[in-house]
Amino acid sequence: MRGSNLRRVLDRRLLLQGFALGAAVTAVRPVLAAETVVGSVSEITGDAVAEIDDQRRKLKRKSSIFLGDTLRTAASSRLRALLARKTNLRLGAETSIRIDRFIVEQGGELVLDSGTLLLDTRGKLLNHLEVESPFALIAVRGTRFFAGPIDGIFGVFVARGAVDVTAGGSTVRLSLGEGTDIARAGAPPGPVKKWGAPKIAKAMALVQ
């Protein structure tokens, strides 16, 4: 009888220890999943959140941005972030972008699911930086460019440097002051054209 009682006590202790360990692992999991900091929020207007591993957190000034984060802005909101200490990222309203990879001096991969962005890279040219969207793949070599819907169509515009825009099996190179429009997902880039001041101002207003 005593042996049976002792076994029950030991079994109960092991069970409680298992619950405690499980709780500790659950508490640590979000930290482990988001341990690689790739930047921080430098300015925010309105509301924005970050999502990673099915966990969401509200962003504010100086909030850390982690590898794998999906950043989302609400209606009438803006977000500005500094990535890898040299790359400024501006997001317009109702924008969603995922930080797939970002390493200092080595570049990275961003996935623009929707909305508008302005990306400004300075200093030493990044070895490899790509922005992927449902409309195009944009390869960057140290530049400042806009991408997103404008006047009802997806546009890419270069304010400094150069980018290669690949869509619909075709690639065009944009240089200072040039832009291209993509009619729909799967369509090739339109003709490379100089954007006029009104269109440039409208694009900048979407991300500032």
CA distances from 43 to 40, 95, 124 (A): 9, 15, 24
Residue 109 DSSP code: E
> 196: closest CA among 143, 141, 144, 155?
155
Same domain flag for 16 and 94: no
Residue bearing the bigger pLDDT, 131 or 4: 131
Residues 76 and 27 in one domain: no
Whether 121 and 139 map to the same domain: the answer is yes
User: Domain with 112 in it: what CATH number?
Assistant: 2.60.120.1440
Looking at the structure, do residues 26 and 45 belong to the same domain, yes or no? no
Residues 14 and 46 in one domain: no
- DSSP structure class, residue 188: P
Do 28 and 42 lie in a common domain?
no
In one letter, which amino acid is 54?
D
Query: What is the C-alpha separation between 116 and 82, in angstroms, rounded?
Result: 17
Domain that holds residue 29: 1-33
- Mean pLDDT for all residues in the chain: 84
HSE-CB of 194 using CA atoms within 13 angstroms: 2
- For residues 158 and 64, membership in a common domain is answered with yes
Backbone dihedral region of 197: left (phi > 0), alpha (psi from -120 to 50 degrees) or beta? alpha
In the chain, % of residues over pLDDT 70: 79
Residues 138 and 76 reside in one and the same domain: yes
Token pair 């075709």 is found at 170
User: For residue 119, how many other CB atoms are within 10 A of its CB?
Assistant: 24
Of 5-9, 57-61, 109-113, 126-130, where does mean pLDDT reach its minimum?
5-9
Classify 169 in phi/psi space as left (phi over 0), alpha (psi -120 to 50) or beta: left
Q: What is the DSSP letter of 71?
A: E
Q: What is the mean pLDDT of residues 133-161?
A: 93
Indicate whether 155 and 119 sit together in one domain: yes
Q: What integer is the mean pLDDT of 55-63?
A: 95
CA distances 48 to 60, 96, 101, 109, Å, are 8, 10, 20, 21
Please name every residue paired with 22 in a beta bridge, in sequence order, or none if there are none: none
Same domain as 70, residue 140: yes
Is residue 78 domain-shared with residue 109, that is, in the same domain?
yes
Q: What is the pLDDT of residue 121?
A: 83
Region 121-128 average pLDDT: 62
Is the predicted pLDDT of residue 107 greater than 80, yes or no?
A: no
User: Whole-prediction pTM value?
Assistant: 0.79
Give the per-residue pLDDT at 105. Answer: 58
Q: Is 104 found in the same domain as 80? A: yes
How many separate domains does the chain show?
2
Average pLDDT of the segment spanning 152-161: 95
Residue 201: the pLDDT is 97
Answer whether residue 162 shows pLDDT above 70: yes
Mean pLDDT of 54-80: 95
pLDDT higher than 70, residue 19: no
Q: What is the pLDDT of residue 171?
A: 97
